[in-house]
Structure 1
Amino acid sequence: MIYELNHVGGRVRDLEASLEFYSGLGAEVVDRLFMPNSRVHRVHIQLGTGLVELLYHEDPDPDATYGLNHVGFMTDDLDADYARLIALGYAELSSPKVAGSGQGRLAFLADPSGTRIELLQRSEEFRIPPITAGPVRQLSSIGLDSPDLDAAVEFYGTHLGMPSDPSADSPTFRIGPDAVKLSSSLPPATTPINHLVLTTTSPQPDTHDPDGLRVTFVKA
């Protein structure tokens, strides 16, 4: 069973620039490691309530796409959930395997719009109590392009089992404090994840992170 929206993550061009940007919003580093086989630095930061996974590759790749590019979910039965979703026709990207970090197992598939979905089964828990020291109180939602809105609603609401948020102005599904928000009419984005919505204690101007991700703010 899928029981938690765990993180949003992706590849960054400049790890220190990304950390500086998010720390300016009050984010804290909650986990950091280096995977020598792939020469990748993985850093989990917590922003209000939500985890963001930053992946920095030491080896350059001219074909790489930068910016947040996947949404990670925790499951208590990776093999069964993965097999079920693939049997329903969702695209297989990477079958279940031991994570490069050595922390549990993972698999990847695609939602109906091509967004990368990571399924994780591990014992480690990186999330800490909500951070209230900075301006951000909550990672309110992860904004996803969903040209076929009905198919996306079926994927997140029915097949991932995420409860719907009836107070939202467009289809929004939440497990715990964090959510995915779906729309078929979002402004074009330069990153695979369209945008993040952050809840703040005071008005903030919308901005972009160092890799071009649009970050918007709503006042609590």
Structure 2
Amino acid sequence: MATNLSKYRFNHSMIRVKNPEASLKFYQFLGLKLIDTVKNPSSKFDLYFLAFDSPAAVSHRSLRSDREGIIELTHNYGTESDPNYKVANGNSDPGRGFGHLCISVDNIQAACARIEKEGYQFKKNLTDGQMRDIAFVLDPDGYWVEIIAQKPLEETAAIEQTDVTSYRMNHTMIRVRDAEKSLAFYKDIMGMSLLSTFNNDAAKFTNYFLGYPISYTIPPSSNAAAYREGILELTWNHGTEADPNFSYHSGNSEPQGFGHTCVSVDDLEAACERLEKNNVQWQKWLTDGRMKDIAFVLDPDGYWIEIIQNEKFKKLAP
């Protein structure tokens, strides 16, 4: 059976956290729900999977592997009581690479006011800088979480309420050294489509937004890009491709923080065979180690991409 790239999903993004209680409280305050927990006491780590799962969510009650827009929190036992433990948020050296997660909201003014009232710190408030339609809040480990609007600001300025059940886990941003190489990899190898491009010549960077086909309908009154889940944003700072010594940090060596993105596929073995034929670099082949049901490939910058079976299609796979 051949693998069908149109059935792939940008399933989740994994970040390491120091204190799972504090992190769960933060992300649940933003409206995400804990949809699954995987305990690994023998290996001394636990995994927490969060997603928007209200009846209004685009993937409400779906199988974990058939969703997009999941955040995976990885907790290694003992970090919560280690005063010297600190994750790398990806936005400073050493450790620069991963940029941020992004949540889109129904009413950005009210959403930011609610977050501020709860006492969480902002990296960038709505009124900071030139871009008045985005904000960045810091999670308990200092990871940046971008807040963007699903509707124009002028439509929500007079509304004081925000409904977390309408929020979306919109995108994950990573920095890339060579835009052409990364775009070719994610489009030709991983099967994503380029949804939009934002170029800022003055600041010398370009953002590329990629994703897989969606099966839900976007309301005509919504910002189509902001309403979606499961988008990958590649940020290219102009000129990095010309420096042979330049590289970004994957987050999986010291200093650790961001771990990986994950794509779920219709047929795991067929997908891995196709990736092998395309000469990808493997971090973990299916038969390596104890876990025989996941694989990891490396993108051109060395970021890890987990490949898992979408259980919805498992009955169709050999």
Q: Give the alignment's TM-score, normalised by structure 1.
A: 0.50
Q: Give the alignment's TM-score, normalised by structure 2.
A: 0.35
User: Which has the larger share of helix?
Assistant: 2
User: Which has the larger share of strand?
Assistant: 1
